[in-house]
Amino acid sequence: MRALDFDQVKLGQGMLKDKLDEMAAFYRGLSNDDILHYMRLDAGLPAPGQAWTGWYAHSRGMGTLGQWVSAYARLYALTGNEQDKAKAIDLIDTFWLCHDHLEGTPKALLGCRSHYAFEKLVQAHCDLQVYAQVPTRDRVVRLVRFARETLDRTRAFGDNSTEWYTMPEALFNASRIFDLPEAAEEAETWLYRDYWALFAEGRDPFARKPEAGLYSDFCHAYSHVNAFNSCAAAYRHSRDPVLLKALKAFYRFMIDTQVMATGGYGPEFEHLMPKDRIVNALRTSHDSFETQCDSYAAFRLCRHLTEIDGEAEYSDWVESLIYNAVLATIPMTPEGKVIYYSDYNMYGASKVNRQDNWTCCTGTRPLLVLDMVRQLYYQDDSGLAICQFAPSEASWTQSGQTARIRQETNFPLDDTMKFQLTLSSPDRFTLYFRRPAWLAGPMGLHVNGQIADAFEVRGYLALTRRWQDGDCIELTVPQKLWMHALDKEKNGPNAFLHGPVVLGATYTGPQTPNDHMNVRRLPERMRPVPGQKLHYTVDGCDQLTFKPFYAYQEHERYFVYHDTTAHATIRFP
pLDDT score recorded for residue 565: 84
Specify whether the CB–CB gap between 304 and 233 falls below 8 A: yes
The backbone region for 213, taken as left when phi is positive above 0, alpha when psi lies in -120 to 50, beta otherwise, is: left
Decide if pLDDT at 70 tops 70.
yes
What pLDDT is stored for residue 68 in this prediction? 98
The burial of 209, by beta-carbon neighbours within 10 Å (0-12 exposed, 13-18 middle, 19 or more buried), is given as: exposed
Q: Quote the CA–CA distance of 521 and 489 in Å, as a whole number.
A: 18
> Average pLDDT for residues 311-329, to the nearest whole number?
98
Alpha-carbon distance 128 to 119, whole Å?
A: 14
Q: How confident is the model at residue 381 (pLDDT cuts 50, 70, 90)?
A: very high
Separation between Cα atoms, residue 467 and residue 26, nearest integer Å: 42
pLDDT tens sequence across 87-144 = 999 999 999 999 999 999 999 999 999 999 999 999 999 999 999 999 999 999 999 9
| Residue 44 near residue 101, CB atoms below 8 Å | yes
Q: Which of 535, 421, 434, 419 is nearest to 477 (CA)?
A: 434
pLDDT reading at 569 higher than 60: no
> For residue 573, what pLDDT is reported?
54
Report the C-alpha gap between 115 and 95 in whole angstroms.
17
Residue 235 CA neighbour count, 13 Å, CB half: 22
Query: What's the number of CA atoms in the CB half-sphere (13 Å) around residue 452?
Result: 27
pLDDT on residue 216: 74
Report whether pLDDT(570) > 80: no
Average pLDDT over residues 517-526: 92
Q: For residue 47, what are the contacts with CB-CB under 8 A and spacing of at least 6?
A: 36, 37, 38, 40, 41
How many residues are present in the chain?
573
166: number of Cβ within 10 Å: 25
From CA 128, how far away is CA 202, in angstroms rounded?
40
Alpha carbon 459 to chain centroid distance?
A: 21
The pLDDT-based confidence of 517 (bands split at 50, 70, 90) is: confident
Q: Give the whole-number percent of the chain exceeding pLDDT 70.
A: 99
Q: Give SS3 for 397.
A: strand
* Cα four-point dihedral sign 84, 86, 90, 93: positive
For the packed helices 193-200 and 221-238, what is the interaxial angle rounded to 10 degrees?
A: 80
φ, ψ (nearest 5 deg) of residue 447: -120, 120
- Give the pLDDT score at 214: 80
- For the chain, the straight-line distance linking the first and the last C-alpha, in angstroms and rounded, comes to 50
Closest of 363, 324, 407 to residue 19, by C-alpha: 324
| DSSP, residue by residue, 430-469 | EEEEE--TT-SS--EEEETTEE---EEETTEEEEEEEE-T
pLDDT value of residue 516: 84
Burial class (CB in 10 A: 0-12, 13-18, 19+), 277: middle
Helix 221-238 to helix 181-189 angle (10° resolution) is 130
Q: Report which of 443, 438, 441, 480 is spatially closest to residue 462, judged by C-alpha positions.
A: 443
- Tell me the per-residue pLDDT of 257-316, one tens digit each, with 9 for 90 and over: 999 999 999 999 899 999 999 999 999 999 999 999 999 999 999 999 999 999 999 999
The pLDDT of residue 567 is 56
Listed range (38-52, 367-381, 557-571) with the worst mean pLDDT: 557-571
If one counts every other C-beta atom within 10 angstroms of the C-beta of residue 133, the result is 11
Q: d(Cα 351, Cα 444) in Å, to the nearest integer?
A: 37
Answer for the pair 562, 490: CB distance below 8 angstroms, yes or no: no
CB proximity list for 542: less than 8 A, separation 6 or greater? none
Model confidence pLDDT, tens digit, residues 233-255: 999 999 999 999 999 999 999 99
pLDDT of residue 557: 97
